Amino acid sequence: MKDLFNEFGHGSLPRLPRHKNPGLEIVYLRHGHLVWECDGKPEAVRPESLYFTLPWQEHGSVWEFEPGHYWYFVVIRLRDERRQLRFPKALGFDVATLATVQRLLLRAPRHAWPATPLVRVLMPALVEELQHPGALHRPRVIQMTAQLVLELARLLSEPEDARQRSDADRFSRLLSELERTCAELWTLDQMAARLQLRRTRFSALFHHYTGDAPLHYLLRLRVEKARRLLRTTDRRVTEIAMACGFASSQHFARVFQQFTGVSASTYRRHGPPVLVLPRKQDWDRWRASRSS
Domain endpoint, select from 113, 132, 163: 163
**AA letter at 217:** Y
244: left (phi over 0), alpha (psi -120 to 50) or beta: alpha
Domain co-membership, 143 together with 14 = yes
Domain co-membership, 70 together with 194 = no
Domain endpoint, select from 111, 141, 163: 163
Q: Is residue 93 part of a domain?
A: yes
pTM of the predicted protein model: 0.68
Q: Is residue 290 part of a domain?
A: no
Q: Is residue 268 part of a domain?
A: yes
Q: Is residue 288 part of a domain?
A: no
Domain co-membership, 67 together with 206 = no
Alpha helices in 39-198, H assignment, sequence order: 95-107, 117-131, 137-157, 167-180, 188-194
Which residue ranges in the chain fall short of pLDDT 70?
67, 80-82, 159-168, 271-292
Domain co-membership, 255 together with 187 = yes
Q: Is residue 285 part of a domain?
A: no
Domain co-membership, 71 together with 136 = yes
Q: Is residue 70 part of a domain?
A: yes
Q: Is residue 218 part of a domain?
A: yes
Domain co-membership, 117 together with 175 = no
Indicate which CATH number applies to the domain containing 175: 1.10.10.60
What is the count of structural domains for the chain? 2
Domain co-membership, 102 together with 230 = no
Indicate which CATH number applies to the domain containing 80: 2.60.120.280
Domain co-membership, 242 together with 188 = yes
**AA letter at 223:** V
Domain co-membership, 182 together with 269 = yes
CA 50, 173, 41, 183 dihedral sign is: negative
pLDDT at 81: 60
How far is it, in rounded angstroms, from Cα 152 to Cα 26? 9
Domain endpoint, select from 119, 143, 163: 163
pLDDT at 279: 39
pLDDT at 189: 94
Range of the domain at 213: 167-279
Alpha helices in the chain, H assignment, sequence order: 95-107, 117-131, 137-157, 167-180, 188-194, 199-210, 214-232, 237-243, 249-260, 264-270, 276-289
3-state DSSP assignment of residue 118: helix
3-state DSSP assignment of residue 138: helix
How far is it, in rounded angstroms, from Cα 142 to Cα 207? 35
Domain co-membership, 110 together with 180 = no
Domain co-membership, 175 together with 137 = no
Q: Is residue 289 part of a domain?
A: no
Domain co-membership, 94 together with 204 = no
**AA letter at 189:** D
